[in-house]
Amino acid sequence: LVSRKKKPENTVVQIDGEAIGREKKTIIAGPCAVESFEQVEAVAIALKSQGLSIMRGGAFKPRTSPYDFQGLGFEGLKILRAVADKHDMKVVTEIVNPAHVEEALNYIDVIQIGARNMQNFELLKEVGSQKKPVLLKRGLSATIQEFIYAAEYIMSQGNGNIILCERGIRTYEKATRNTLDITAVPILKKETHLPVLVDVTHSTGRKDLLLPAAKAALAIEADGIMVEVHPDPAVALSDAMQQLNIPEFEHFMNSLKSSRLLA
Ligand code: PEP
Ligand code: MN
């Protein structure tokens, strides 16, 4: 069902009036994790002033260590919704438990399936059987074929509103957090009819590479970018090393705008 052979024209995913997969590129930005109303609101204001309308932020954080911050859970979803409503924005957030999907739908606009859950088939079936758009991230060690099959799990339940997200894969290379598989973008766009984003934060894990990675992603015709922004990254409860602060985010956006790659 996700194959380009079944449907030659591009799928455009509508998020409450915002289209992903059209000529105009989509930038989704926001903190790694929701920490407080004030923190999310500071980011929302910065996003708005750059003309962005889709904000990310994790409330259920699937952390590698059980001793790391696990997120605020439903409290975090309520914060996202309150900030989004106040500033007329949409929210993307990760859900990790199939049993949380139904309740989460009251608060969010796009359900994110994280890399660690790309092959959580019960979760894929659950998000496939409801109507909200799903942002599906590539698994840490998933092949492109496995990634496409994960999307197929969602679509075969009836939900065709899927956005794919390349977020880097695990290789022997240690210079970056993961290895951004940049040619996955044109392969996914050739093999499927779905929009494809690139998460420059989790793929590179390096602030100095966010802008070049974003330019490469847009030049190779990704439909957009995901990037993490925090008002004070040094005190962030997760991913402190790789989130942009607000002036850095403004510089990132202005550089992309002047590169003309966002058109
Ligand atoms: C995230 O986007 O918050 C995240 C945890 O990313 P990933 O699932 O790609 O590691
Ligand atoms: Mn993160």
User: Once rounded to an integer, what is the mean pLDDT over residues 54-70?
Assistant: 96
Distance CA 194, CA 188 (A): 8
- For residue 94, the ligand 1 atom closest to its alpha carbon is 3
Q: For residue 263, what pLDDT band results from cuts at 50, 70 and 90?
A: confident
- The string of pLDDT tens digits covering residues 97-122 is 999 999 999 999 999 999 999 999 99
Ligand nearest to the CA of 243: 2
Task: Flag whether 77 is in a domain.
Answer: yes
Which amino acids bring their CB within 6 angstroms of ligand 1?
A: 32, 58, 94, 114-116, 137, 167, 199, 202
pLDDT of amino acid 37: 98
Phi-psi region of 159 (alpha: psi -120 to 50; beta: other; left: phi over 0): beta
> What single-letter amino acid sits at 114?
G
- The string of pLDDT tens digits covering residues 5-43 is 999 999 999 998 899 999 999 999 999 999 999 999 999
Instruction: For residue 20, give the 3-state DSSP assignment.
Output: strand
Residues whose beta carbons lie less than 5 angstroms from ion ligand 2: 32, 239
Distance from Cα 202 to the centre of ligand 1, integer Å: 7
Give how many domains the chain has, as a whole number.
1
User: Once rounded to an integer, what is the mean pLDDT over residues 83-95?
Assistant: 98
Distance from Cα 51 to the centre of ligand 1, integer Å: 24
**Nearest alpha carbon to residue 87 among 118, 140, 43:** 43
pLDDT of amino acid 17: 87
Ligand nearest to the CA of 61: 1
Task: Flag whether 6 is in a domain.
Answer: no
Distance from Cα 150 to the centre of ligand 2, integer Å: 22
Distance from Cα 8 to the centre of ligand 2, integer Å: 34
**Beta carbons within 8 Å of 175's beta carbon, 6+ residues apart:** none
Q: For residue 134, what pLDDT band results from cuts at 50, 70 and 90?
A: very high
List the CATH number of the domain containing 63: 3.20.20.70
Task: Flag whether 181 is in a domain.
Answer: yes
Query: What's 186-209 look like in SS3?
Result: HHHHHHECCCEEEEHHHHHCCHHH
Instruction: Report the alpha-carbon angle 58-122-167, nearest 5.
Output: 45
- The string of pLDDT tens digits covering residues 179-191 is 999 999 999 999 9
Distance CA 11, CA 22 (A): 9
pTM, full prediction: 0.98
Handedness of CA 250, 15, 198, 123 (dihedral sign): positive
User: Once rounded to an integer, what is the mean pLDDT over residues 166-191?
Assistant: 98
pLDDT of amino acid 76: 98
Task: Flag whether 75 is in a domain.
Answer: yes
Task: Flag whether 1 is in a domain.
Answer: no
Distance from Cα 55 to the centre of ligand 1, integer Å: 14
Domain assignment of residue 160, given as a range: 13-258
Distance CA 209, CA 196 (A): 20
Task: Flag whether 87 is in a domain.
Answer: yes
Task: Flag whether 91 is in a domain.
Answer: yes
Interface pTM, i.e. ipTM: 0.99
**Nearest alpha carbon to residue 41 among 110, 89, 75, 74:** 89
Residue 106 and residue 129 in contact, taking contact as beta carbons nearer than 8 Å: no
One-character DSSP codes across 89-100: -EEEEE---GGG
Distance CA 263, CA 24 (A): 5
Phi-psi region of 239 (alpha: psi -120 to 50; beta: other; left: phi over 0): left
End-to-end CA, the chain: 29
Task: Flag whether 231 is in a domain.
Answer: yes
- For residue 168, the ligand 1 atom closest to its alpha carbon is 9
